[in-house]
């Protein structure tokens, strides 16, 4: 197996914890993998991806990291932190209107020294992102474009090796449940399952994307990521498990599903979820448990992908309790 360039700044391995009180409450066998504790700027799943992405940027001689996301993007927060740590300039193209006072992730973006470019319409974001890249290039910035969500073949490697890490800790889980959106985490786990022989099932609960799009995108991304490690592996739609049953309300829209999940994790385990990603994925998992989707004997691992600073965003802080 090839060894692509990688930095080592994540706090790994992240712990696995038994959710004993929540398991009793829901009559299930629930565990959590704490990737909210990866260490970089309040942690999260993007830290694993950035170990490979920032290393790639360094090998290309880049001086500026450029990326994009929502106004409260967890990915952009961690990208800005990685840029600060390794001496890059950082430009973030964020969707929305600039608030009078920054809060939560946006406050952290500014603390890390990122330059924010605002775009009102999400449909214009790719154009503005490319424009920012070209302007940086023209001014000698030597930019590196960090893909949306860190979800490129390079970024997906973070979760390929995360699956290897999990198996060294405990390979007996029947299910891995997690939030999926841009597909990098999903693709990495899918590739890791094959490479390292994980026998359990991997189910991504969509935050905002159509199930068919996810299966197509993730299978392609996993195939492309495999080529960075050696011989290309072919993944098909049937290799990817995803459900879009819980994202109909729209991206970042707080409903009773997310609210209950955040509250139950806090009440029974003293563990914080975010209202956008982990709250929605955990809410979907709770619904599947109540519908009898899992067997009573199944060991179910919820992979906590971080995002807790979003709890303190003005949009959610008064509505979550």
Over the stretch 208-258, which tens digit does the pLDDT of each residue have? 999 999 999 999 999 999 999 999 999 999 999 999 999 999 999 999 999
Angle separating helix axes 74-86 and 46-59, nearest 10 degrees: 40
- DSSP secondary structure string for all residues of 170-217: ----SEEEEEESSSHHHHHHHHHHHHHT--SEEEEEESSS-HHHHHHH
Q: How many distinct structural domains can be found in the chain? A: 2
pLDDT at 140 over 90: no
Indicate the residue among 149, 174, 204 that finishes a domain.
Answer: 149
pLDDT at 308 over 90: yes
Indicate the residue among 149, 174, 192 that finishes a domain.
Answer: 149
Identify the pLDDT of residue 151.
Answer: 96
Q: How confident is the model at residue 101 (pLDDT cuts 50, 70, 90)?
A: very high
- Nearest alpha-carbon partner for 16 in 7, 6, 27, 29: 29
SS3 31: strand
- CATH of residue 228's domain is 3.40.50.1100
3: in domain: no
55: in domain: yes
**64 and 28, same structural domain?**
no
Rounded Cα–Cα distance for residues 79 and 68 (Å): 10
**Tokens 């198996």 belong to which residue?**
167
Over the stretch 58-95, which tens digit does the pLDDT of each residue have? 999 999 999 999 999 999 999 999 999 999 999 999 99
Q: How confident is the model at residue 167 (pLDDT cuts 50, 70, 90)?
A: very high
1: in domain: no
Burial 17-47 (b: 16+ CB within 10 A, else e): eebeebbeebebbbbbbbbbbbebbbbbbbb
Over the stretch 265-303, which tens digit does the pLDDT of each residue have? 999 999 999 999 999 999 999 999 999 999 999 999 999
Q: Looking at 39-48, 81-90, 207-216, 306-315, which range is the least confident one? A: 306-315
Known catalytic residues are 73
Indicate the residue among 104, 122, 149 that finishes a domain.
Answer: 149
pLDDT at 321 over 90: no
Q: How confident is the model at residue 318 (pLDDT cuts 50, 70, 90)?
A: confident
Rounded Cα–Cα distance for residues 313 and 253 (Å): 13
Range of the domain at 266: 16-45+151-317
- CA distances, 101 to each of 98, 105, 195, 314, 320 (Å): 8, 12, 46, 10, 20
């Amino acid at each position: 197996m090839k060894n692509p360039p990688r930095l080592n700044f994540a706090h790994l391995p992240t712990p696995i914890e038994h959710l004993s009180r929540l398991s009793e409450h829901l009559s299930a066998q629930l565990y959590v993998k704490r990737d909210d504790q990866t260490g970089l700027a309040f942690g999260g799943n993007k830290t694993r991806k950035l170990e490979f992405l920032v290393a790639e940027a360094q090998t290309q001689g880049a001086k500026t990291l450029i990326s994009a996301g929502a106004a409260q993007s967890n990915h952009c927060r961690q990208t800005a932190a990685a840029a600060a740590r390794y001496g890059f300039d950082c430009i973030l193209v964020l969707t929305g209107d600039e608030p009078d006072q920054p809060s939560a992730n946006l406050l952290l973006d500014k603390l890390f020294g990122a330059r924010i470019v605002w775009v009102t319409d999400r449909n214009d974001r790719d154009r503005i992102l490319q424009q920012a890249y070209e302007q940086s290039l023209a001014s000698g910035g030597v930019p590196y474009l960090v893909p949306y969500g860190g979800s490129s073949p390079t970024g997906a490697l973070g979760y390929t090796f995360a699956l290897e890490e999990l198996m060294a800790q405990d390979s007996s889980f029947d299910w891995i449940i997690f939030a999926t959106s841009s597909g990098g985490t999903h693709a990495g786990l899918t590739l890791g399952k094959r490479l390292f022989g994980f026998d359990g099932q991997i189910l991504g609960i969509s935050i905002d994307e159509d199930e068919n799009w996810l299966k197509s995108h993730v299978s392609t991304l996993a195939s492309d990521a495999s080529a960075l490690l050696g011989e290309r592996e072919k993944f098909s739609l049937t290799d990817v498990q995803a459900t879009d049953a819980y994202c109909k309300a729209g991206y970042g829209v707080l409903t009773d599903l997310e609210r209950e999940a955040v509250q139950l994790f806090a009440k029974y385990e003293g563990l914080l979820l975010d209202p956008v990603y982990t709250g929605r994925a955990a809410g979907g998992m709770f619904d599947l448990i109540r519908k009898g989707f899992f067997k009573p004997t199944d060991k179910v691992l919820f992979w906590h992908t971080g995002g807790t600073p979003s709890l303190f965003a003005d949009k959610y802080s008064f509505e979550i309790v």
